[in-house]
Structure 1
Amino acid sequence: MSERTVVAGVGMIPFTTPRNTEPYNVMGEAAARNALADAGIDYSLVQQAYVGYVYGDSTSGQSALYGLGLSGIPIINVNNNCSTGSSALYLARQAVASGAVDCALALGFEQMQRGALAMGYTDRPSPFARFDEVMDELQPRTEAPFAAQMFGGAGQQYMEKYGTAPETFARISVKSRLHAANNPYSVFKDPTSVEEVMASPHLHGPLTRLQACPPTCGAAAAVICSEEFARKHGLDVAVVISAQAMTTDFASTFEDKDMMKIVGYDMAKAAADQVYAASGVSPEDIRVVELHDCFTANELITYEGLGLTPEGTAEKFILDGDNTYGGRVVTNPSGGLLSKGHPLGATGLAQCAELVWQLRGQAEARQVEGVKVALQHNIGLGGAAVVTLYEKVS
């Protein structure tokens, strides 16, 4: 799927905490309307829709989109854990790139409950059973939420391998808040310090509570179309998806007995490598990235998985300020999952929106200067990784 597809419109709503949320269908409809308005087209021109959410009954996607009109188009509901939003984007882009349709809508939303993520069903096999078995071989169980144990274990392994200081992980949270202060869609905008992050309650490994993304509600959407369709309808063709790859777990996830691989390092690296090969873009060309920082540990190891810095150099990358404004590549100008929030189904499409705004020069105080290409990384345990390269073409 090497054909370029146009991101004609993006939209989202401000993310909120669960106690302040609107119902999922209200949020979803609002984000879809914002994307359509940004594109400048009516819903009647959309030929397929892919709708992502993790916590919700079947056909919730129809419930969210029926408020836009009863057009009879295919509406496909998508659930791929934390990579759900970008999985919906992947399917919409694939439908357009293949020529099956000329215009597709990708929508993601989540109405989350308070507290840590939990399994929805206890009367059937867990999709994490194989992951749990390997994790139990590598580290003792604690009282921390299961995701914190997984990603905290990955951070602990990285620390032991490279001698990284715990405070280095905390610096990522500090950076995240600084970026989020300029994002009206973010949940947490107040600054924090390394000392405050380190003093927050301990979770697992190097992680403390201020190094974990909060449960969040929200929605985001994107209109994807062919260049021919965009020009026919007078749409903005400035931003295209020039390459995209989706991977799932490899044998190495389970056989290598490696906590970083348990949380998707190999999936992310393989997807990124495919995108670089397909596009001809190298990591050195990237100046802005939205990556999956569900925990600070995942942001740190993902710097290396995406090739932004060589293996074992993430600490230097952070201490040198190469992950923020004035450095080599601005990571998560939106504030990322840590500060913007992480409504599971919406995250991948919120990342898309931020990068489209960056490429258009519409990111206001968050704007990274001279952006011509932008990289997105979204991952879900269980597992799936989607890496997307956006390009400014006019």
Structure 2
Amino acid sequence: MWNLTKEAKKRFQTCNLLPIHESDGDWESEFEYAKEEGIDLTKRLAEDLEMVKEELLTVLPSRFIPFVEDGTLNQPTLPKSVREDYLQWMRECDKEFEEILATAYENTKSTIPYLSENVQEVFNDSLHDSIIERIERENQNLHIFLNAEGGFTNKTIIHFIFKDVLREESDEPLQIGQWFIYNELKKTDKGFAFRVLLDCPDSEWTIEAQNIDASYYYRPVNYAKLRDERRIMDKSIEEYIQELNKDQHQQYFFITPDANITISGFKDSAPFVNLEVGEIQLKDQKLILSLNQNSFEYDLKEQSFIHFIYTDIYEDPYAQFNIAVPIDELEQAVFSDDLDYQVRAWNTMYSNPEETKDIVNRIFMKMDVTEENEMMLSIYLNHFNKHKVLTENVLSKFATLIDE
């Protein structure tokens, strides 16, 4: 019996099709903003309701139907008691799905100790928002390569191997480009079962195999820095390769949407890498990979050659920000012009709220809220307030930024 189902996900999404404001003050603020922007908010809200009406009625309790029919369910004229009832119903729907996800997580957590360390390492992070990049079937084995770069893990490529597949079920064929949304793993009498709810297109996929293994790869540390600075296309291949960590224990791989090949060495000139198998040519801003009598072509106008280089060791590109600032330098660091020094100071205080509380309060009393620092101040103020280290003066000064 699975906890995760496509139907449960659909119900959760449908219950949240028509959010409404919780208070009169929120409604007043939205109408004031709409007036300033020249928006007919009443008309837009009516259109929003009409757009989701048919689907919403499939899950909506009967007591709310009259307010759908008269068009007031998402209007400020909705009676307060009905508004509160509707909001409570939405919260209960959310809680119901959260409990499903929590149970699915516990199932996964209790199953992974039976699998290899690599699989355990993969499931220590979330697979949410990973994208299927390659699917390969080999006898009774299934290989799935996920691109997790935009997800919730520091791993970039995850390679799942489902060994000796026993069964596979899906309401839609598994496709390259689909997104992992939610997943659940179970131990079975014959092996392991894995269920995934996917998006684009929306589908439910389940596989049972005698065993599951995995491998994973990271971006080199210099790639991550270039990506965040949006300078990847500006970096020369020669310089990039020179900056790679050539530690003898670190292995590099050439990974494309069609192949995963170990790099046996680097060169100073084109094609810049030696592969254990296959050959590379660079021609007319194209990368041509010849492998096992097959040829694959990639356009280098939109992605750099360095995009295809991965490694098996994770290096934190921002490890320097975790280097603690000496306590007697914290105040100086926060107000310095050196951004890295500032970040290190805040991280030091964030990790040591009790030890640094006097300095923290002194710093906050010297700071004023600006459009640029408002969000940052809110995060830090609420963190330090949670640890109960803020003085009454600081709490009063920043009352509007501190959660109740």
Q: Which structure ranks higher in relative contact order (CA pairs < 8 Å, sequence separation ≥ 6)?
A: 1
TM-score normalised by the chain length of structure 1: 0.21
Q: Of the two, which has the highest radius of gyration?
A: 2
Looking at secondary structure, tell me which structure has more strand per residue: 2
